[in-house]
Structure 1
Amino acid sequence: MLKKKASSAIIAVSDIERARRFYSDTLGLELNEKGMEGVLVYKTGATHLVVYPSEFAGTNKANAVVWDCGADIDAIAADLRAKGVKFEHYEMNGVTYKDGVHDADGFKMVWFKDPDGNILHLNSA
């Protein structure tokens, strides 16, 4: 029923203008459209990222979005680090951590939070 339908990631934020600066300027996403009631829609790869205001912003304790970055993951992490993004560090057996990048035998992962605490994830898939 849904296997051929497009999907979008959706993130709740408490301050839509602060979120616009983070997602547009820090992450470099291109604003596709401004939706109703201050909703922001970004085109990201083959999908969309919808950013909307909510009183429940930042309450999710799991990944909100994941981007498959391939071999560009180290360069993307370095660019984000230069822009002041702080990375999360998770201890996992057999995984090394350097400069914000977790490395599981060549599979690389990066986690960081947006200004509301939503967990964003990059991987090298």
Structure 2
Amino acid sequence: MLKDRTIMAVLAAKDINRAKDFYRDKLGLEPSESMEDDSLLYSGGNGTGFLIYQTENAGTAKNTQMGWETDNLEAEMEELRGRGVVFEDYDFPGLKTENGVADNDWGRSAWFLDSEGNILNISQRK
């Protein structure tokens, strides 16, 4: 059943055109298709993908909503910073970042916000 199905993340956007510009200009991503006037579908590696749809509820979640796994966190962060992405710094119980990076037993992670206030993540396993 579901364990064998492709998983797709779903993100909210108050302004779908602003989100499209962010994902193109900052992350280097182009939508693979437009499902309706107010939604965009992006394809990722290994059959993964995500949908962005327009809603007034965008930016209200206070948790990580989507992430990418990489084998070179520093290189990804350098490229994204070069495109204007700003990484978040956190300092609360269980999570402290230094220069945007948190290190734990699992690996290393960094977070940033998209144009709609969604919290996105990049991680590298140890």
Same fold per superposition (TM over 0.5): yes
- Shorter-chain TM range is 0.7 to 0.9
Residue in structure 2 matched with residue 30 of structure 1 by the alignment: 30
Deviations 1:68-96 (A, max 9, x none): 112x2111111111222111112256955
**Unpaired segments ≥5 residues, structure 1:** none
- SS of alignment partner, residue 25 of structure 2: helix
Runs of 5+ in structure 2 lacking a partner?
none
Q: Runs of 4 or more off by more than 3 Å in structure 1? A: 92-96
Read off the aligned partner of 2:107 and give its amino acid letter: F
- Give the 3 Å change call, closer, same or farther, for CA 94–55 of structure 1 in structure 2: closer
Matches within 5 A, 1:71-90: 72-90=72-90
Name the SS of the counterpart of 1:74 in structure 2.
helix
Number of residue pairs aligned between Structure 1 and Structure 2: 123
Letter in 2 for 1:115: S
Supply the AA of the counterpart residue of 1:114.
Answer: D
Matched, 1:63 2:64: yes
Residue in structure 2 matched with residue 41 of structure 1 by the alignment = 41
User: Normalising by the residue count of structure 1, what TM-score does the alignment of the two structures yield?
Assistant: 0.88
Residues 5-46 of structure 1, C-alpha deviation per residue, up to 9 Å, x if partnerless? 111001000111110011122111232101113211111112
Following the alignment from structure 1 to structure 2, what is the Cα–Cα distance between the partners of residues 54 and 95? 32
**Alignment-mate amino acid for residue 110 of structure 1:** A
Q: Is the 8 A contact 1:96 1:104 kept in 2?
A: no
The structural deviation recorded for 1:4 is: 0.6
Q: Percent identity?
A: 39
What letter corresponds to residue 31 of structure 2 in structure 1? L
